[in-house]
Amino acid sequence: MLYQFLICFLAGLGAGLGTGFAGMSAAAVISPMLITLLGVEPYAAVGIALASDVLASAVSAWTYGKNKNLDIRNGLVMMAAVLAFTLVGSWVSSRVPSATMGSFSKYMTLLLGVKFLVKPVMTTRESMAAADPKKRAVQSLICGVLVGFICGFVGAGGGMMMLLILTSVLGYELKTAVGTSVFIMTFTALTGSLSHFAIGGMPDLWSLLFCVLSTLLWARIAARFANKASPVVLNRATGAVLTVMGAAMLLI
């Protein structure tokens, strides 16, 4: 039990920091650690990770929203598409070999971390406001379909793909992108976890409880720090967290 708690606490620490800093899904860290170190079945591990995302993303979204770094109106269009295709992705993932689900999140985490270190996001609120609302709505719908499917399929890809799309395609500044991402991930994670549990059954309750509480704690800490940091510091912190996590998971 102590070993199980320690692994879940460390997994939640990494997942919470990733969620609070970068809007990253907890599955990027929790799933590989539970699979590798506790022998949890991959599909159940993704379900635990998505369940851990729900409260962590919610408290992060509340923190970003309180600091006016959340775009709810434009995020709703993407969220509708994401929610629908999360269910599709979850169903498909239950019929795909476990090995296919295992490696995607590790490489995605590492590459996105390097991206923020090498090419930081320095978009301003002014340039965000200048974007064409109709074009952004169409882009949000199309991107939401892709993100939703990935979120349901491997969990991890959803949050990271959403952050990449919000900053690179839709032109969001970093804090607003993270705030909007965790807002959407609150609902996609809830949908994804419920569909995983409905299809694959309930996972180990102790692992679920330990991961949920640890992720919630560290996501709250990271989100508070991120909202007070400058764009340069936030880019470096986000890049460093993702790069270290990605490299560590590849080594494991």
- The enclosing H or E element of 27 equals helix 27-37
**188-235 pLDDT, tens per residue?**
788 778 877 888 778 888 888 999 999 999 999 999 998 988 878 878
Q: What pLDDT does residue 203 have?
A: 81
Share of the chain above pLDDT 70, in %: 83
Q: What pLDDT does residue 103 have?
A: 57
Whether 32 has a pLDDT exceeding 80, the answer reads: no
CA 127 to chain CA centroid, nearest Å: 25
Rounded CA separation 26/114 (Å): 19
**What single-letter amino acid sits at 237?**
A
Q: What pLDDT does residue 223 have?
A: 92
Other CB atoms within a 10 A radius of the CB of residue 39 amount to 8
Q: What pLDDT does residue 215 have?
A: 93
Look up the pTM and report it: 0.77
Q: Which has more pLDDT, 187 or 108?
A: 187
- Tell me the CA distances in angstroms from 172 to 154, 188, 209, one per residue in order: 25, 20, 34
Rounded CA separation 127/205 (Å): 46
Rounded CA separation 7/73 (Å): 38
**What single-letter amino acid sits at 246?**
G
**52-90 pLDDT, tens per residue?**
989 999 999 999 999 988 888 778 888 888 778 777 776
**91-118 pLDDT, tens per residue?**
776 676 554 445 555 666 677 678 777 7
Q: What pLDDT does residue 216 have?
A: 93
Rounded CA separation 89/153 (Å): 4
Is the separation of the CB atoms in 111 and 22 below 8 Å? no
Rounded CA separation 175/157 (Å): 19
Which tokens go with 65? Answer: 């929203």
